[in-house]
A and B are shown apart, each in its own frame.
Chain A
């Protein structure tokens, strides 16, 4: 069923450039690599006002193998910043879940900074749709 809703689903990505800046700032000179970090989010958001996102970083979380922080960015929101998690050895594992707002279909990006300064990145496209119809 088509809903008479008024939000924009256009492809304009307001924060793409700012996202690039935020990535560079978080990485602090390191080049983000793939691997170690997994971002989990629904393929299609049930409700753009509250989209569950989880991150998990492969790490022993002790000694030198430690994740210091993970930041979440959204390149299609008015501002890219979503949140930053800080972990410690007492976290036991570098995993966290929260819920975020998504203004439109866009990539959500997660970056992890390790104790040795290396940075890992994962991203996932989350679709925000009008809804309706079905089989």
Chain B
């Protein structure tokens, strides 16, 4: 299970500005490499895809492998031309989808 994702991005920006977005989500990112106390392999369970969209258009995407650390962190950029809503999506191996949104005002 993952906990509520956290986002850092500016509330406002100038048209055409390239802003920086930072995201964090709590997740153990079980690699599939570890063994439990009885020596049985602990099955892999990771966030496998992260996507950032702006008003339905893809801005940035990452496919994750088990080498990504627990509590995956991403920092990337976005070029904003108009006010709107960013949508962030994390997809878990178990099929769960975690989503959050944040608005930006562009002047």
Alpha-carbon distance between A86 and B52 when the two chains are bound, in angstroms: 10
The residues in A between 48 and 73 inclusive whose CB is less than 8 angstroms from any CB of B are: 49-51, 54, 61
**Interface residue count on the B side (C-beta < 8 Å):** 27
Alpha-carbon distance between A91 and B77 when the two chains are bound, in angstroms: 5
Are B67 and A82 in contact, CB atoms less than 8 angstroms apart? yes
The interface residues of chain A lying within 8 Å CB-to-CB of B63 are 83-84, 86
Interface flag for B40 (CB, 8 Å): no
Interface flag for A89 (CB, 8 Å): yes
CB distance from B95 to the nearest CB of A (A): 20
Are A100 and B68 in contact, CB atoms less than 8 angstroms apart? yes
Alpha-carbon distance between A54 and B19 when the two chains are bound, in angstroms: 16
The interface residues of chain A lying within 8 Å CB-to-CB of B75 are 54, 96-98
Greatest chain B CB density within 10 A among A49, A54, A92, A97 is at: A92
Total contacts A-B at CB 8 Å: 91
The prevalent SS among residues of B at the interface is: strand
Are B74 and A97 in contact, CB atoms less than 8 angstroms apart? yes
Chain B positions within 8 Å of A, measured between CB atoms, are 18-19, 31, 33, 54, 57-70, 72-79
Q: Which 3 residue pairs across A and B have the least CB separation, nearest first?
A: A92-B79, A92-B18, A97-B75
Chain A positions within 8 Å of B, measured between CB atoms, are 49-51, 54, 61, 74, 77-79, 81-93, 95-101
Enumerate 24 A-B pairs (CB-CB under 8 Å) in ascending A order.
A49-B69, A54-B75, A78-B33, A79-B66, A79-B67, A82-B65, A82-B68, A84-B62, A85-B60, A85-B61, A85-B62, A88-B58, A88-B59, A89-B79, A91-B77, A91-B78, A91-B79, A96-B62, A98-B72, A99-B68, A100-B68, A100-B69, A101-B31, A101-B68
